[in-house]
Amino acid sequence: MPWQEATAVSLRLEFVTLAAQQSMPFRELCRRFGISPPTGYKWLRRYEAEPATGLADRSRRPQHSPGQTPLEVEAAVLAVRREHPAWGGRKLCRWLRDHEQAPVPQASTITAILRRNGLLSADQAAPHAWQRFEHPEPNDLWQMDFKGHFALAQGRCHPFTVLDDHSRYNLGLTACGNEQHATVQRHLTGIFERYGLPWRMTMDNGSPWGSDSVHTYTKLTVWLIHLGIRVSHSKPFHPQTQGKLERFHRSLKAEVVSVRGWRDLAECQAAFTAWRTVYNHERPHEALALATPASRYQPSGRALPTILPPIEYGPDDQVRRVDVNGAIVWHGQKYPVGRAFVKQPIALRPTAHDGVWEVYFCHECVRKIDLHQMEAQDV
């Protein structure tokens, strides 16, 4: 039988000793020890060359490994990984190819380097199958939300984020002290001044751009509509509507928020600004075939006006002004439209259904009125 590991050296010593005596044919001796003649000659040669150590097992690792990653390349991989501890093999591979002159190993090799050094989490190792959808052009749709707020040594931070759907470009990442209308409008104004106006913005139903009721307008969304932006809300309890922004928030948490404690908003903002540059211009995005968001984004040609344009409706529209209670009078009956529209002109347009009218603010249909039911209906 083949030699057992525990007695291999002693059996080899016995074999070479008996072989040296030449008391029986060599092949017969090999047969009795359960080895082939080439193996027997190998042990004889090793014993003659190194009597003390020649019979011990030797490493099967080749003395030269042309395919092994050079130590300096592995060191470069680990250095970038230390700077970006949430990046996996594919992102690191693309970043190194964009920034390093030396040959860069394949993504699978980089993944093996991470695994060998104990730096690969189970989530990063598992393949992900995503069904992705994106709008065809930059600024077709922006997603807007607050990431969950977190405690600081002084107060709390409410990260306000805006993301372009097509390119995943982060248009705004601001460390806010609250989630109020004035705060959001101030930061959105700065974003609009730099990048122009999108065609549509989507957000959840929370304050300050909505409520728990679907399509309830606020002063903020009325301002956006007046700027010519279409407004949409995600379905309640359905965060997948803003899936790209949810994914962005996970990256923000993993790569910035959770790495340490934060002192104040200024310290958070400094970290957000630095990370935003990396995210937009350096970090390869797997949904973009490992391109960067900046390579796919361009500012909107629709500039923010210095003053809000006048609201104009068609000659066949029935125009009413919303009173201080958020209602209009139509056919002798008072109908609620929403307090967000107080003092604003709205237009009523008939539909194909008798007695049913659509209520428009600028381009947006915000309500339907059914004269038979004597009440307003959400769209």
Query: What is the helix (H) or strand (E) element at residue 188, kind and residue range?
Result: helix 181-195
pLDDT band at 344 (very low <50, low <70, confident <90, very high): very high
pLDDT of 128 strictly over 70: no
| Predicted pLDDT of residue 196 | 92
Average pLDDT over residues 17-23: 78
| Residue-wise burial string across 187-220, b where 16 or more C-beta atoms lie within 10 A, e elsewhere | bbeebbeebbbbebbbbbbeebbbeeeebbbbeb
- In sequence order, the 6+-apart residues with CB closer than 8 A to the CB of 40 are 15, 19, 26, 29, 30, 33
What's the CA gap between 377 and 340, in Å, rounded?
16
| Predicted pLDDT of residue 61 | 60
| Predicted pLDDT of residue 376 | 52
Output the average pLDDT for the chain. 81
pLDDT of 351 strictly over 70: yes
Q: Tell me the pLDDT tens digit for each residue of 268-297.
A: 999 999 988 888 888 877 776 778 888 889
- Quote the Cα angle for 196-199-205, to 5°: 105
Q: How far is CA 333 from CA 166, 342, 353, 376, in A?
A: 45, 18, 19, 11
Q: Tell me the pLDDT tens digit for each residue of 65-123.
A: 555 666 667 677 677 776 676 676 677 767 677 776 567 777 677 677 667 666 665 54
**Which stretch, 55-64, 238-247, 276-285, has highest mean pLDDT?**
276-285
The encoded tokens of residue 327 equal 């209602």
Domain extent listing, the chain: 5-49, 71-125, 142-295, 318-378
pLDDT above 70: percentage of residues in the chain: 75
Closest listed residue to residue 151, CA positions, set 175, 126, 118: 175
| Predicted pLDDT of residue 26 | 87
| Predicted pLDDT of residue 119 | 60
CATH of 142-295, one of 3.30.70.660, 3.30.300.30, 3.40.50.1170, 3.30.420.10: 3.30.420.10
Query: 247-251 contacts: CB < 8 A, separation 24 or more?
Result: 248/161, 248/163, 248/168, 248/170, 249/145, 249/147, 249/148, 249/159, 249/161, 251/86, 251/279
pLDDT of 16 strictly over 70: yes
The encoded tokens of residue 113 equal 């380097």
pLDDT of 5 strictly over 50: no
Q: How far is CA 367 from CA 204, 264, 321, 328, in A?
A: 19, 43, 14, 12
Q: Tell me the pLDDT tens digit for each residue of 142-192.
A: 999 998 899 999 899 999 999 999 989 999 999 999 999 999 999 999 999
What's the CA gap between 144 and 344, in Å, rounded?
25
What's the CA gap between 60 and 145, in Å, rounded?
57
